[in-house]
Amino acid sequence: MPEALVERARDALDNAYTPYSEYTVGAALRTADGTVFVGCNIENANYSNSLHAEEVAIAEAVKNGHTEFDRIVVTSGARDGVTPCGMCRQTLAEFADEDLEIVCDLGGEETAEYTLGELLPNTISLDTLEAAAEQRDAEE
């Protein structure tokens, strides 16, 4: 179990801003060079402007010049094995390949582990968009 990353994700829960759902989420994202960035969810009264823990961690990493990741740990205050939502999976896919390790906290020392490819097969990518553009051009 990636204990250090789980602890970093759990520590991030302390900073979550969740006055509406009271469902705290923390994430710890490890870059290819071993640097770790954490994030927590930040809710907003209109809900659609809320930020997810994973995207906060990704934004912090990218802001600091990191765009290659090898593992992310996600936890919630409920320790229910929460996985990244579809939006966060797509954002992760922008910077990581299908082998990205996603570790979900089940509480205690228990985790569930997935790869990004398992959770988001056939992702939309630059290659997907370029192939679609080529196909459109060929049909014109």
8 A C-beta contact, residue 101 and residue 113? yes
Sign of CA dihedral 8, 9, 10, 16: positive
DSSP structure string for 27-75: EEEEETTS-EEEEE-B--TTSTT-B-HHHHHHHHHHHTT---EEEEEEE
User: Does 20 belong to an annotated binding site?
Assistant: no
**118 annotated ligand-binding residue:** no
Contact yes or no for 59/23 (Cβ under 8 A)? no
122 known member of a binding site:
no
Residue 41 assigned as binding residue = yes
44 is in an annotated binding site: yes
Structure tokens given for 6: 């789980």
Q: Is there a binding annotation on residue 64?
A: no
Give catalytic status of residue 101 as yes or no: no
Q: Which pair of structure tokens corresponds to residue 75? A: 């936890």
Give me the catalytic one of 54, 68, 113, 139. 54
Residue 46 assigned to a binding site: yes
Query: Which tokens belong to 61?
Result: 């990493």
45 carries a ligand binding annotation: yes
Q: In 3-state terms, what secondary structure has residue 96?
A: coil
Q: Is 98 annotated as a binding residue?
A: no
Binding site, annotated residues for Zn(2+): 85, 88
Binding site, annotated residues for substrate: 41-47
Residue numbers annotated as active site = 54
Binding site, annotated residues: 41-47, 85, 88
